[in-house]
Structure 1
Amino acid sequence: MTANNRTVSGMRPTGPLHIGHYFGALKNWIDMQNDYEAFFFVADWHALTSNYADTSKLPQYVRDMVVDWMSAGLDPEKCAIYRQSDIRETAELHLLLSMITPLGWLERCPTYKEQQQQITDKDLGNYGFLGYPVLMTADIIQHRPRWVPVGQDQQPHLELAREIVRRFNGMYDTQVFPEPEARLTPAAKCPGLDGRKMSKSYGNGIFLQDTLEELTPKVKTMFTDPARLRKSDPGNPDVCNLFPYHKLLASPEVQAEVREGCTGATMGCVNCKKMFLQNLQTFLEPLHERRAAILAKPGLVDEVLAAGRERAAKSVKETMELVRAAMHMD
């Protein structure tokens, strides 16, 4: 009954993906597709929890996300790539789980409290926002996976999913759902150009689809060590906004060279940025080549989503038959 070789994850389609999305999640997904039966979904229903007022861009964002994923290296031959709303049984499972989930579990969710304080330009006083962890649980457990790739900050969400699973299995005296386990994604520091969190809304992102012409002025204006005003001033790579990217993109030898040049005031920030831009270009070139090939086939995204829907629907159908039987609703 348990599909121990399965993994599931998704992203909300809210705009183009940046380099933080790649190192924070996609890189791990790309590795896992080779070793697991993997399901990756574009979470368009989740996008409505905060962007429910204007849905006009959502269809294009869904397609753009699939292109970004495949450009980065997700292979639809190795994993199922599907749109969340194409699997209507997810909504049924969400409804059934919402009946047994105590309100207090949702109200104590750290993200619920934090985002209510931080997002002040939207009304988040709706059930969709409060109850999205239940929908997220349905997204995950409908495939009965063993592993869910998450960052450290998402562990409370997964633990809530595990609590809901324990409650369902105990209440209906069944073992339909295994408790999903976290597959921690290694932390990757990807600060924005201005030192804040990288975000489209801040205008400080390095996006996977950015061309060299777009990247060059961005990198030139990138914040570095605020205390280093001249090349002759010794710098501190550990507080520099740029150095984390050398850790991600440069060899250990180059990292050591940059650190020595910065702390010894023999390398200026201009040269440091040039090195970063070159490494960034080398990293993005194969992504751009794959993107061009994907866009040259107008029907490819539809084909990928259709194939992914078929694979995901088969998995979910099997689960829902067990759920309905356990709840005497079959």
Structure 2
Amino acid sequence: MMQERVLTGDRVTGKLHLGHYAGSLKNRVALQEQYESFVFLADVQALTTHFDRPEVIRDHARDIVLDYLAAGLKPEKTTIYVQSLIPEIAELTMYFSMFVTVNMLRHNPTVKAESKNSSLDELYYGFLGYPVSQAADIAFCKATLVPVGEDQLPHLELARKIVRRFNELYRPVLVEPKALVSETPRLIGTDGSAKMSKSLGNTITLDASAEEIVFKIRKAKTDPARIRKHDPGHPEICPIYAYHQAFISAEAPEIREGCERGTISCTACKERITAALEQLISPMRERRAYYTERQQLVNDIVMDGTQRTRSLARETMLEVREAMSLNLFG
């Protein structure tokens, strides 16, 4: 039987941060020990919101690869590749788009939410068709497992429908992927008002210095209802408590009890999470420094991964064209 194949990726719009680590990257590092793993730089999909600023993609592609390697992804276990260098993905996207209706895309709740939250003044074709492209990302390499958060389940369900429809229309050559749902809570940014977001500047990046971590946590918002040191706190609305849950979960019950009783101050709480984050990020800095000094090695890792993925893509698309009777003129 074919080994389970896991696929994940990131839009190339900036350095990765603690929200990415808690939500997906930490999980990817663990999954690579169990499954055949593919991780890609979604540079084409980044254009859905950055088509007028493509230099952002160019500037941050290497940053994200360094984030991957620093976090613990191993090139011998995880294939890292660039989306735009696999033209078969674009070809499969076009084939899928022929039988996916506009209504199906418009009713996708994730697209609705993202279009409302984006700064785009109009709904562009590429943005609306993002789920079709995402389905091709998954299908071209016959990924069997896709790690997702609850908010991404509609995207994956649409991908499953698209693959199922293709197999019904032509021949069952593509694999219907399954979800690996992450239960990690989404981290609130250091401003306390929204999720961690590169565009909002409320993140702690994975290459943050010890001084940056101290500064960011010291300035971070806590429980707004807790005015004095010994006031009973409300951990469920405190962003810093969510960091405790995500990064030092074994201590979280103790922190929660102390907060609710007013026996641990917000300052002491911040000091504990600061120490924990430094312990987490310090080895990442060391690995990042190693790869930063070896730029050609980083290039080779990405290009070797891309070449391996391209070979796989060619095999899949031969099957797809055969199923669709598009193997014209032999």
State if a TM-score over 0.5 links the two structures: yes
The alpha carbon displacement at 1:3 in A equals 4.0
* Most deviating of 287-296 and 194-203: 194-203
DSSP-derived class of the 2:231 partner = coil
The alpha carbon displacement at 1:272 in A equals 1.1
Structure 2-normalised TM-score? Answer: 0.95
- Hey, what does 2:140 align to over in structure 1? 142
The answer to whether the 8 Å contact 2:229/2:262 transfers is yes
The alpha carbon displacement at 1:241 in A equals 1.6
Q: Which runs of 4+ in 1 moved over 6 A?
A: none
CA distance in 2, matches of 1:63, 1:326: 38
CA distance in 2, matches of 1:150, 1:3: 22
* Most deviating of 257-266 and 80-89: 257-266
The answer to whether the 8 Å contact 1:41/1:81 transfers is yes
- Hey, what does 1:70 align to over in structure 2? 69
Structure 2, unaligned stretches of length 5 or more? none
- Hey, what does 2:80 align to over in structure 1? 81
1:216 equivalent in alignment to 2:214: yes
The answer to whether the 8 Å contact 2:3/2:36 transfers is no
The answer to whether the 8 Å contact 1:4/1:145 transfers is no
RMSD: 1.4
CA distance in 2, matches of 1:39, 1:200: 24
- Higher RCO structure (Cα 8 Å, ≥6 apart): 1
1:236 equivalent in alignment to 2:234: yes
DSSP-derived class of the 2:135 partner = helix
The answer to whether the 8 Å contact 1:3/1:145 transfers is no
DSSP-derived class of the 1:226 partner = coil
CA distance in 1, matches of 2:206, 2:254: 27
CA distance in 2, matches of 1:164, 1:238: 39
Change (3 A) 1:320 1:148: same
Alignment match of 1:272 (pick from 259, 263, 269): 269
The alpha carbon displacement at 1:100 in A equals 1.8
- Hey, what does 1:293 align to over in structure 2? 290
Change (3 A) 1:103 1:251: closer
CA distance in 2, matches of 1:99, 1:256: 52
The answer to whether the 8 Å contact 1:110/1:156 transfers is yes
Change (3 A) 1:281 1:322: same
The alpha carbon displacement at 1:23 in A equals 0.9
Change (3 A) 1:4 1:101: farther
CA distance in 1, matches of 2:70, 2:83: 20
The alpha carbon displacement at 1:227 in A equals 1.3
Structure 1, unaligned stretches of length 5 or more? none
Letter in 1 for 2:221: F
DSSP-derived class of the 1:267 partner = coil
- Hey, what does 1:255 align to over in structure 2? 252
CA distance in 2, matches of 1:278, 1:314: 45
The answer to whether the 8 Å contact 2:6/2:144 transfers is yes
Structure 1-normalised TM-score? Answer: 0.95
The alpha carbon displacement at 1:186 in A equals 2.2
- The one-character-per-residue Cα deviations of 1:23-62 (angstroms, maximum 9, x if unpaired) are 1011111111111111111000000011101111211211
- The one-character-per-residue Cα deviations of 1:80-130 (angstroms, maximum 9, x if unpaired) are 1001001111111111111121222111111222222222x3244221111
Alignment match of 2:188 (pick from 181, 188, 191): 191
1:16 equivalent in alignment to 2:15: yes
Equivalenced residue count is 326
The answer to whether the 8 Å contact 2:85/2:306 transfers is yes
CA distance in 1, matches of 2:260, 2:99: 58
The answer to whether the 8 Å contact 1:3/1:144 transfers is no
The alpha carbon displacement at 1:4 in A equals 4.7
Change (3 A) 1:42 1:327: same
The alpha carbon displacement at 1:150 in A equals 0.9
Q: For 1:10-159, list aligned pairs within 5 A.
A: 10-119=9-118, 121-159=119-157
- Hey, what does 2:167 align to over in structure 1? 169
Change (3 A) 1:136 1:124: farther
DSSP-derived class of the 2:84 partner = helix
Letter in 1 for 2:51: Y
- The one-character-per-residue Cα deviations of 1:165-220 (angstroms, maximum 9, x if unpaired) are 11111111x11012111111222331111222111222211111111111111111
